[in-house]
Amino acid sequence: MSLFGVCRHLREMGVPAPRGGKAWSTATLRGILTNPYSRGQSLRRARALPAPEDPALGHPIGHPHDSAVPLPPEEWTFVAQVPAVVSQEQIDRKIRANQNS
């Protein structure tokens, strides 16, 4: 089944989309299926930026983790193993099928 077919099937089954709507998009489904968490891996994929320092006060202002910078995949670090929703083989097979169609 294509990603579009899976989206249609989810809608027909009445499964709400992640944000509560009725319509699933192929982009949303692809994002879920390619997320390492769906394969059972919790990874640290971003680095927190330090809070800016106030020169007058001499210490950081705001929260220490107000924003984060995405890391390239080679810098992701393993955090924990979680139950997999889908196997890496299934994801790769689906992506190849969609690229060939």
Q: How does pLDDT run across 7-58, given as a tens digit for each residue?
A: 999 899 998 988 888 889 999 888 888 777 777 777 787 777 766 666 676 6
Average pLDDT of the segment spanning 71-99: 79
Q: What is the pTM of this model?
A: 0.50
Buried b (16+ CB within 10 A) or exposed e, 38-76: bbebebebeeeeeeeeeeeeeeeeeeeeeeeeeeeeeee
| Mean pLDDT, residues 53-75 | 71
Average pLDDT of span 61-84? 76
pLDDT level of residue 84 (50, 70, 90 thresholds):
confident
Provide the 3-class DSSP secondary structure of residue 101: coil
Please check the confidence at residue 59 and state whether its pLDDT lies above 70: no
Q: Which residue has the higher pLDDT, 21 or 61?
A: 21
Pseudo-torsion of CA 29, 30, 31, 33, nearest 10°?
Answer: 90
Task: Please tell me the predicted confidence (pLDDT) of residue 63.
Answer: 62
